[in-house]
């Protein structure tokens, strides 16, 4: 268990802690719940960036890391989206569709990677658009959680302007990067 793998495990452990603040009534104010959840999510997202950089820089790449890092990323994003669906009832009618698109794309691309690896041993690395998609997901989740706290004006607290803009950007990047993966690698999959 090197440092990058410990950071990955920490990310997995922090996901339910983060979700606890959004999904379980703890008697805290709305502002405090949102700030704590956002800080936990931001710190957990930061471990995703750090573990990869450390692993590559110090040649600490392991099979465990190759398997668990992308899974930990999915746990984090899925957990955040489920937490938002529970906590942010006023955004639920729109956000449920955004969450479904993100989750379906993540599962489809993960399945594509697994098929490519099992059929040809090819490892499909994260593409540039995939990294941009991840950034838009993180920004969207943070904006949805923090918008009423950092922008206490009716345009944002009642109409959720920032949330809707970042949700739209996340959906566009999610679909675009998913199409890119399937266009680039889908032809290499043999259907039996």
> What pLDDT digit, counting tens, does each position of 10-39 carry?
999 999 999 999 999 999 999 999 999 999
Whether this prediction's pTM lies above 0.85 is answered by yes
Per-residue pLDDT at 192: 62
* Tokens matching residue 55: 């692993």
Angle, in degrees to the nearest 10, between helices 92-120 and 63-87: 160
Residue 123 has pLDDT above 70, yes or no: no
User: For residue 61, what are the CA distances in angstroms to 12, 53, 56, 101?
Assistant: 18, 10, 6, 31
pLDDT recorded at residue 110? 85
Upper half-sphere CA count for residue 73 (Cβ side, 13 Å): 23
Q: pLDDT value at position 191?
A: 66
């Amino acid at each position: 268990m090197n440092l990058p793998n410990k950071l990955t495990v920490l990310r997995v452990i922090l996901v339910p802690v983060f979700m606890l603040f959004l999904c379980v009534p703890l008697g805290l104010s709305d502002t405090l719940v949102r700030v704590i959840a956002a800080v936990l999510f931001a710190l957990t997202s930061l471990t995703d960036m750090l573990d990869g950089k450390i692993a590559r820089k110090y040649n600490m790449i392991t099979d465990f890391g190759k398997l668990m890092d992308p899974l930990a990323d999915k746990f984090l994003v899925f957990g955040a989206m489920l937490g938002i669906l529970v906590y942010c009832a006023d955004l639920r009618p729109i956000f449920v569709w955004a969450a479904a698109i993100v989750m379906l794309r993540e599962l489809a691309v993960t399945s594509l990677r697994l098929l490519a690896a099992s059929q040809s041993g090819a490892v499909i690395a994260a593409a540039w658009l995939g990294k941009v998609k991840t950034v838009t997901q993180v920004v969207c989740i943070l904006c949805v959680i923090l918008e009423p706290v950092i922008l206490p004006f009716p345009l944002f607290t009642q109409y959720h302007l920032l949330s809707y803009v970042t949700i739209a950007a996340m959906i566009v990047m999610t679909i675009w990067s998913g199409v890119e993966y399937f266009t680039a690698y889908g032809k290499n999959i043999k259907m039996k």
